[in-house]
Amino acid sequence: MTATLTPHPSPPATRRAEWGGFLRTLHAEWTKFRTVRGWVLAMAGALLSTIVVGLLGTAAPAPGGRGADSASYPRGPGGEAVNDSFYFVHKTLTGDGTLTVPLRSLTGMADTGTTGKTVQSTQPWAKAGIIVKESLTQGSPYAAVMATGGHGVRMQYDYTRDAAGPSGMPSEESPRWLRLVRAGDSLTGFASTDGSHWTEVGHTKLPGLARTVQAGLFATSPEAKQDTAAGTGFNPAVATGTFDRPVLSGGWSEGAWRGTQVGGDAGTSGSYSNALKGGFAQTDGGGFTVTGAGDIAPVVGGPVMGVGFSVENFLVGTFAGLIVVIAVGTVFITGEYRRGLLRTTMAATPLRGRVLGAKALVAGGGAFAIGLVAAAITLPIGERSARGRGFLVFPVTSATEVRVMVGTGLLWAAAAVLALGVGALLRRSGTAVALVIASIVLPFLLAASGVLPPSVSEWLLRVTPAAGFAIQQTLPQYAQVLSVYEPSTGYYPLPPWAGLAVLCGYAALAFGLAVVRLRGRDV
Amino acid sequence: MSLPSGVRPASTADGGWVGDFGRALRAEWTKLRTAGDMGRLLLLAVALTVAVGCGTAKAVKCPDVGCGQDVVRLALTGVTVGQAVIAVFAVLAVSGEYGTGMIRTTLAAVPNRTTVLTAKAAILTTVVLASGTAAVLASLLAGRYILPGNGFTEAHDYASLSLAEGPTLRAAVGSVLYLVLIALLGLGVATAVREAATAIGIVLGLLYLFPVVTRVVNDPEWQRHLQQISPMTAGLSIQATIHLDELPIGPWAGLGVLAVWAAAALLVGGLLLHRRDA
């Protein structure tokens, strides 16, 4: 009766005892886990299958037999992959200067997909206007003020930045006056409908912009996106800007205007055809018509990405490993039911929550470690091998790469805990494994197959455990670049961590229900 | 016993295979019928198949001529989900016995492994034939009522779903056979590996991994080859009713690929069953 003599047992001691109890349970579970040879082999198999499936899945030879390491996306000032292809009519500008020009029209031609037929059609993000660019090298810093085919006047700079100006299209009756002012590293774009009343479209500083830059007029157009009931297609398209005589002030070179197709071709998001070519012509009054294809914008996923891999492609083996992890996670508890070991376990540690917690920690921790290692091995090998065969690999920052690797580990950990919870609830390994695999992999397959309309696919990837795969997405999305941002092209509706949180929610729910159910029954 | 005294010894004494097989069949049927969840699993398979089929049919719209949608395939989309339940059903028919130790009794009663496996396969085939037919017919019927409301009408070049159409009939019969083959694949794998979790993992991995990997393969030629050997993609080409020449593999040939997978699994399972005790 000593307990009654100490009315206030010291809480730290109790807590320490509890902690010690938990550690002992954890140790017991870890011993069970590591001494079953089948499970250890299975976890090794999960690691191996992730690597092998990932590398085999991306092992195809490059199209057209391109040479090793010949292909890579141009990189913008922020390190992001960019498209930098346009027709440029330029002069050298040294120091400060201003270019003012009326844009009479912006028109476009697009291929119809059937051989050689073209139609008049201006793409929503077709562009023509004034650009100041450090050099003719792709990816160099720039700022531009432009009219677009469907989004009014814009000021864009350094590939990812976009500011909206007055709306509407230029026409013969109502031309758009555009003006770009360079003062030091500061650039300001203006627009006007009459040449006398100006509104500022945007302003930016390009720190470190060289004193001598190339500046002038440009036109470019991404491919024409055609949505038919059967799907989305992209066809070659060009844009033509018709400019009146440009007015210059400041440190402009005296030489003649020169025309250059920046990038040599139209990049991955634009294309010329036999009937649609780039170029420029000087008109009688000293104006210009400039025709070009391509885009000055970040590269995004979908058809406009070109033939290349994104980082998550190398992790396709995650699915193979995940299936193994789910099976192991389930059997970690159902195996004890089958062999009657659970009675011993519960006799040793009567606290249901503690046993399940220790099991979850062991299964989840193991799955996390294996997933992390699998991703950390697969990514560098896959990337190097793909580059070596001449494939484009969508570049990501190291932070993103770390997020994808750690995320893969967490994805597996959550799946293992989910499997454990469902296994404890159902007590039947077969049904539990099937339920968890089907609930994670099937929604992904249905959503990615493209059979369902995009809105339904997106809902599937919001509310089912398959949402967790969002943690592996590295492809960016930009409002000023037209593509197919859908599950079928690798775009998840939820941000990476939110998607993982959905899966973790399911895991927590299954785990919580399992604790409640186990408390309510004998074993 | 009310049986004539001569019947019983006659069938066992001369080892009459047909008599043995008949009794093995009845034993398997009894086990399947009375083992807990089996009926519910089949109901779930049918319900899921029809529900997913209805959901897909409700979700996909045809605003104009030339949607390029295969309505039969749309209505039968549920098979991709229902097959998971059928696979579980088939795996549990074997692994359940290993889990409880029942398999020892089974093999003591019918020592001939081939007879046991054939009897199990026959019972599974019959049961899945029946439930698969129900699921497929119900899915098509639902599609017949739902799809015209989404624009799949005569005006947009779509006839009403009918089994009188040759391709539709082929897709329907083929989908039922597809489910049967999935069950046999599950049976073979489960007989080979015994443990339910492993067997389910292998079967679902075989089915779902191929399409996932195919998505990232860049080379069209490789992609086509992968689709040709994938049990699910090749097998489900039996559901195609339009653009048959664009399929990576023809409808019946595709179902044949799945049949080869199932036969291989059964062969491996059968051999292992022969070689080990229980």
Report pLDDT digits (tens) over B28-46.
Answer: 888 877 776 778 888 999 9
pLDDT tier at B10, thresholds 50, 70, 90: very low
B interface test, pick of A227, A436, A437, A457 with most B CB neighbours within 10 Å: A437
**Cβ separation B216–A316 shorter than 8 A:** yes
Predicted local distance difference test score (pLDDT) of residue A6: 45
What tokens were used for B148?
A: 């015209």
Predicted local distance difference test score (pLDDT) of residue B97: 81
**Cβ separation B196–A53 shorter than 8 A:** no
0.80 exceeded by pTM: yes
Q: How far is CA A262 from CA A292, A297, A304, A342, in A?
A: 10, 13, 18, 70
Predicted local distance difference test score (pLDDT) of residue B3: 44
Predicted local distance difference test score (pLDDT) of residue A4: 45
Domain boundaries in chain B? 17-275
Best CA proximity match to B241, nearest among B168, B145, B158 = B168
Alpha-carbon dihedral A506, A509, A510, A514, rounded to 10 degrees:
170
A341 and A406 fall within a common domain: yes
Tell me the C-alpha distance between A238 and A224, whole Å. 9
**B116 CB contacts (<8 Å, ≥6 apart)?**
B24, B28, B106, B107, B110, B273
Q: Which of residues 176-205 of B touch A (CB under 8 A)?
A: 195-201, 204-205
Tell me the C-alpha distance between B112 and B23, whole Å. 12
Predicted local distance difference test score (pLDDT) of residue A268: 80
Residue with more model confidence, B129 or B248: B129
| Contact by Cβ (8 Å): B192, A34 | no
A203 and A254 fall within a common domain: yes
Q: Which of residues 95-154 of B touch A (CB under 8 A)?
A: 95-96, 99
Boundary of a domain, candidates A298, A321, A344? A298
Tell me the C-alpha distance between A86 and A79, whole Å. 20
**Cβ separation B197–A323 shorter than 8 A:** no
Q: How many C-beta atoms lie closer than 10 Å to residue A64's C-beta?
A: 7
Q: For the stretch A464-497, what's the b/e string if a residue is b when 16 or more beta carbons lie within 10 angstroms of its beta carbon?
A: bbbbbbbbbbbbbeeebbbbbbbbbbbbbbbebe
A269 and A315 fall within a common domain: no
**Domains contained in chain A, number:** 2
Predicted local distance difference test score (pLDDT) of residue A69: 46
What tokens were used for A25?
A: 């349970």
A512 and A480 fall within a common domain: yes
The answer on pLDDT for B59 being more than 50 is yes
- Residues B150-205: tens digit of each pLDDT: 878 777 777 777 787 888 999 999 999 999 999 999 999 999 998 888 899 999 99
A492 and A472 fall within a common domain: yes
Q: Which residues pair with A261 in a beta bridge?
A: A87
A51 and A146 fall within a common domain: no
**Cβ separation B201–A320 shorter than 8 A:** no
Boundary of a domain, candidates A298, A331, A364? A298
Predicted local distance difference test score (pLDDT) of residue A229: 55
What tokens were used for A279?
A: 């170029």
- Domain range for A86 is 82-298
Tell me the C-alpha distance between A32 and B241, whole Å. 53
For residue B156, the distance in angstroms to the closest alpha carbon of chain A comes to: 11
Boundary of a domain, candidates A298, A317, A337? A298
A224 and A328 fall within a common domain: no
- Residues A174-217: tens digit of each pLDDT: 888 999 999 989 999 999 988 889 999 999 999 889 999 999 99
Best CA proximity match to A319, nearest among A143, A141, A177, A472 = A472
Average pLDDT over residues B266-273: 92
Residue B116 CA from chain centroid, whole number: 20
A329 and A286 fall within a common domain: no
| Contact by Cβ (8 Å): A460, A466 | yes
The answer on pLDDT for B261 being more than 80 is yes
The interface predicted TM-score (ipTM) is: 0.82
Tell me the C-alpha distance between A133 and A90, whole Å. 10
Best CA proximity match to A242, nearest among A175, A279, A288 = A288
Domain-embedded: residue A175: yes
Share of chain B above pLDDT 90, in %: 38
Predicted local distance difference test score (pLDDT) of residue A116: 65
| Contact by Cβ (8 Å): A390, A484 | no
Domain-embedded: residue A155: yes
Predicted local distance difference test score (pLDDT) of residue B9: 41
Predicted local distance difference test score (pLDDT) of residue A111: 85
Best CA proximity match to B69, nearest among A228, A353, A115 = A228
Amino acid, single-letter form, for residue A339: R
The answer on pLDDT for B4 being more than 50 is no
**Cβ separation A230–B60 shorter than 8 A:** no
**Cβ separation A230–B205 shorter than 8 A:** no
**Cβ separation B211–A430 shorter than 8 A:** no
Tell me the C-alpha distance between B103 and B120, whole Å. 12
A216 and A240 fall within a common domain: yes
For residue A253, the distance in angstroms to the closest alpha carbon of chain B comes to: 48
Cα nearest neighbour of A312 on chain B: B216
A325 and A265 fall within a common domain: no
Tell me the C-alpha distance between B143 and B158, whole Å. 12
Residue A431 CA from chain centroid, whole number: 35
Give kind and range of the element (H or E) at residue A313: helix A311-314
Q: How far is CA A94 from CA A136, A180, A396, B100, B114, in A?
A: 15, 15, 34, 86, 89
- Residues B213-230: tens digit of each pLDDT: 888 887 788 888 889 999
Residue A490, CB-side half-sphere exposure with 13 Å CA sphere = 25
How many residues does this entry show for chain B?
Answer: 278
Predicted local distance difference test score (pLDDT) of residue B157: 73
| Contact by Cβ (8 Å): A315, A379 | yes
Tell me the C-alpha distance between A77 and A81, whole Å. 10
A87 and A46 fall within a common domain: no
**A164 CB contacts (<8 Å, ≥6 apart)?**
A151, A152, A153, A154, A201
> How buried is residue A293: exposed, middle or buried, by Cβ count under 10 Å (0-12/13-18/19+)?
buried
CATH of the domain at A184: 2.60.120
Residue A450 CA from chain centroid, whole number: 18
Judged by DSSP in three states, A308 sits in strand
Domain-embedded: residue A9: no
| Contact by Cβ (8 Å): A104, A193 | no
Q: How many C-beta atoms lie closer than 10 Å to residue A211's C-beta?
A: 11
Best CA proximity match to A116, nearest among A276, A278, A293, A291 = A276
Amino acid, single-letter form, for residue B178: Y
Best CA proximity match to B183, nearest among B78, B44, B87 = B87
For residue B236, the distance in angstroms to the closest alpha carbon of chain A comes to: 13
Spans of chain A, pLDDT less than 70: 1-13, 62-71, 114-116, 228-231, 523
Q: How many C-beta atoms lie closer than 10 Å to residue A274's C-beta?
A: 10
